Structure 1
Amino acid sequence: MILPAAIDSVGAACAHVLLTPDPRGKLMAARAVARAWRLGRLTHRFDTPMPDRPARPDAPELLPPNKMPRRGKIGSERARIAMLHALAHIEFVAIDLAFDLIGRFGGPFPTDFTSDWMRIGAEEAMHFALLDRRLRQMGSFYGALPAHDGLWQAATETAGDALARLAIVPMVLEARALDITPATIERFESVGDSASARMLGRIMTDEIRHVAAGTKWFCATTEGMGLSPAHHYQILVKRHFRGPVKPPFNDSARRQAGLTRDFYDALAT
Structure 2
Amino acid sequence: MASLQLLGVSKVFASKPTREVQAVQSVDLEVKDGELLVLFGPSGSGKTTLLRIIAGLEQPTAGRVLLGGVEVTQQPPRERNVAFVFQHGSLYGHLTVEQNLTFALDQQRASRSWWGSGSAARGELSNQQIAARVREVAEQAGITAWLGRRPAELSGGEQQRVAVARALVRQPQLLLMDEPFSSLDLPVRQTLVRELKQQLREQQQTAIYVTHDLAEALAVADRVGVLIGGQLRQIGDPREVFAKPAGDQIAALFAPLRLTERPGWWWNVGVPSSGG
- TM-score, length-scaled by structure 1: 0.28
Higher relative contact order (CA 8 A, sep 6+): 2
Larger radius of gyration: 2
- TM-score, length-scaled by structure 2: 0.27
Instruction: Select the structure that is richer in helix.
Output: 1
Instruction: Select the structure that is richer in strand.
Output: 2
